[in-house]
Structure 1
């Protein structure tokens, strides 16, 4: 029987994806696996505190991005896209 891969919950990742005009920091946060993340927004001071408290590993904004394909999409992209029936 194959031994399952371990999931290290002590590893925390942050990938900054943008900064809003009002100063809020947009970023991805992941625990254990950088490919499985949530999108978050915090003011700069709270973001710095969050990173310190979680002892995060910073990832490059382009890390993990594939080519131009259907899966290269983020929830934040919905704010800039109009969805209407064709």
Structure 2
């Protein structure tokens, strides 16, 4: 049985804390697979997560399929070369 889309559910996947104090993370509404990449100061990130009532996700609860060419993040473009 497929779970119904629920816009009340909010998900966050922590990506990294940068040296300048900003936190990179993915934020999703309803489905963790459809997300926006976001960046906030650490204190704002903590407030954001609390106010949104997020469910934290990680590799165990929602793995990234590295072998899937369609599964990439904007941040990947800064580290990988995309050949034609």
| Structures share fold, TM-score greater than 0.5 | yes
- The RMSD of aligned alpha carbons is 2.2
Larger of the two Rg values belongs to structure: 1
The answer to whether the Cα contact below 8 Å between 1:23 and 1:44 also exists between their aligned partners in 2 is yes
**CA–CA separation in structure 2 for the residues paired with 1:29 and 1:61:** 15
Matched residue count? 82
TM-score computed with the length of structure 2 as normaliser: 0.82
Long gaps (5+) in structure 1: none
Find the aligned partners of 1:20 and 1:77 in 2 and give their Cα distance: 16
Change (3 A) 1:80 1:67: closer
Contact 1:35 1:64 in 2 (8 A): no
TM-score of the aligned structures, taking structure 1 as reference length: 0.80
Distance 1:70 1:78 in 2: 13
